[in-house]
Amino acid sequence: MVLGRRAHNRYDQSSRQTRITVIEKVLGSIGLLICGVLLLRMALAPQRRLAFDAALRNCGYRLRHAWRGLMHWRPSSRKQAARAAEEAIERARRARSTERDGNVYRPKSFKGPRKPH
């Protein structure tokens, strides 16, 4: 029993260590990329630096727009459900077995007398 616990803990620690290592590599890569972009920017002439800055700004705007679009994206299943609901409402409006009582659609079968139990 104790060996099983130790092995389980060792497994948890190794997977946790792997996740930390991956995160460190990703953050290090991002930092290296930023440093490389800044070094490239410093090496450019002033006119080209302005164009480079404008291109980076445009890239940032595109990324922000894509992120917002992703956050407000509606899956097609939602669209299909909304369309099906609209079709059902239209069928209920056109059905002959229903009457409109104010803003409520009621079947004609509700008009008859109720059966005592």
Q: Is the model more confident about 11 or about 113? A: 113
Q: Per-residue pLDDT for 114 more than 90?
A: no
Q: Are 61 and 91 members of one domain?
A: no
Q: Are 11 and 55 members of one domain?
A: yes
Q: Are 49 and 95 members of one domain?
A: no
Which pLDDT score is estimated for 117? 66
- Using one digit for the tens of pLDDT, what is the confidence trace for 26-56? 999 999 999 999 999 999 999 999 999 999 9
What's at 42, amino acid-wise?
M
Q: Are 10 and 37 members of one domain?
A: yes
Q: Is residue 58 part of a domain?
A: yes
Straight-line distance from the first to the last Cα atom of the chain, in angstroms, rounded to the nearest whole number: 66
Q: Are 64 and 85 members of one domain?
A: no
pTM of the shown model: 0.45
Residues 1 and 15: their CA atoms lie apart, in Å, by: 21
C-alpha dist (Å) from residue 103 to 85, 95, 97? 18, 15, 16
| Backbone φ and ψ of 75, nearest 5° | -65, 155
Residue 90's domain comprises 78-109
Q: Are 14 and 68 members of one domain?
A: yes
Q: Is residue 117 part of a domain?
A: no
Residues 59/66, Cβ–Cβ less than 8 Å: no
Which pLDDT score is estimated for 1? 46
Could you tell me the pLDDT band of residue 60, with boundaries at 50, 70 and 90? very high
Q: Are 69 and 85 members of one domain?
A: no
Residues 104 and 107: their CA atoms lie apart, in Å, by: 10
Which pLDDT score is estimated for 10? 56
Q: Are 58 and 94 members of one domain?
A: no
Q: Is residue 114 part of a domain?
A: no
